[in-house]
Amino acid sequence: MEVVTVDIGGTHARFAVAEVAEGRVVSISEPVTQKVAEHPSLQLAWQAFGETLGRPLPKAAAIAVASPVGGEVIKLTNNPWIIRPALIPERLGADTWTMVNDFAAIGHAVAQLGDDDFLHLCGPEMPLPDRGSITVCGPGTGLGVAQVFRHKGGYDIIATEGGHVDFAPLDPIEDAFVKRLRREFNRVSTERIVAGPAIVAIYETLAELEKRPVPRHNDKKIWELAFEGEDSLAVAALDRFCLSLGAVAGDLALTHGPTGVVIAGGLGLRLKDHLLQSGFGERFVAKGRFRNLMASIPVKLITHPQPGLYGAAAAFAQEHAL
């Protein structure tokens, strides 16, 4: 069966056509990426995808959204679109549909993809376990978190809003990040430190600590400078970001009690080389009396180019027993 699979984030909406059978994804087409800002609604973006495809769209939809799922109206966390699930058949022409949280979709991808779609980051170099809990987290426009529980009968996905828990600073530099952010926010969540836009606060805080005047840049520019390696302050901000991500991933692992951890998100793959070279792994295990336990957990980076699209289609196949 063919299904239109959609991954809606804070900045981009990605569309593809997937073929599903027997609860799994068989194939997925080349994705089409659209900027959320260029379309007032999901319906208009859906229609634009149909025009790009050049043929009638399948009457089935698998939709992953960067928001809690449930209720009559879904307001995305970092995106102005409003989705009314009851109107999906009318607005999108989909007779059958599934809607999941974006990181629940990533969880489905983690549960179904093979070992070749993961890169080892730290911990014992072994495949993800086929039994037990796997924590999935990753930075994009926000910080997504989900839990995969594998068991004899298959797997279950638990969608969470773990990116919005309080951030726990571990050294004076991270104390400074929190102090700066408290000028604007009463409560500093993990997402304010470990998500794409957070690089601005990290960059500007480091400039303050260095007593350096620094031009105002948006997050896109700072990430560009960091990956190019030409701006020492941006490179330092990238290093600090990786350290904080390691600590946060470790905290989530303690919370979920997993036997594996997967890093994903819009920034995850771009950070690949930096995570391997940074102190990410050391921060992940630095949990005091639980250091040995943390060191026993394999930590992977998902390398599939479109895990959200793949996972949304997998969620559809699982829900409709196809």
What is the secondary structure of 18-57 as a DSSP string? EEEETTEEEEEPPPEEEEGGG-SSHHHHHHHHHHHHTSPP
At residue 100 the predicted structure's pLDDT band, cuts being 50, 70 and 90, is: very high
pLDDT of res. 47: 95
Using CB atoms within 10 A of its CB, is residue 41 exposed (0-12), middle (13-18) or buried (19+)? middle
Cα–Cα distance for residue pair 31/26, rounded to 1 Å: 15
3-class secondary-structure state, position 84: coil
Both structure tokens of 75: 């307001």
Backbone φ and ψ for 21, nearest 5 degrees, come out as -160, 140
Backbone φ and ψ for 218, nearest 5 degrees, come out as -80, 175
User: Is the pLDDT confidence value at 322 over 60?
Assistant: no
Mean pLDDT of 255-282: 91
- Nearest in space to 28 (alpha carbons), one of 318, 313, 315: 313
Count the Cβ atoms, other than its own, within 10 Å of residue 294.
21
Backbone φ and ψ for 100, nearest 5 degrees, come out as -135, 155
> What confidence tens digit (pLDDT) does each residue in 127-180 have?
999 899 999 999 988 899 999 999 988 999 998 889 999 999 999 999 999 999
> What confidence tens digit (pLDDT) does each residue in 19-62 have?
999 999 999 999 999 999 899 999 999 999 999 988 899 999 99
Question: Which ranges constitute the DSSP H helices of 87-171?
Answer: 88-92, 102-112
Both structure tokens of 153: 């009968």
Cα–Cα distance for residue pair 240/180, rounded to 1 Å: 15
Count the Cβ atoms, other than its own, within 10 Å of residue 231.
18
CB within 8 Å of 216: residues ≥ 6 apart = none
User: Is the pLDDT confidence value at 1 over 90?
Assistant: yes
Question: Which ranges constitute the DSSP H helices of 71-196?
Answer: 88-92, 102-112, 172-181
Using CB atoms within 10 A of its CB, is residue 319 exposed (0-12), middle (13-18) or buried (19+)? middle
- Nearest in space to 202 (alpha carbons), one of 171, 244, 230, 231: 244
> What confidence tens digit (pLDDT) does each residue in 230-244 have?
899 999 999 999 999
Both structure tokens of 143: 């910080």
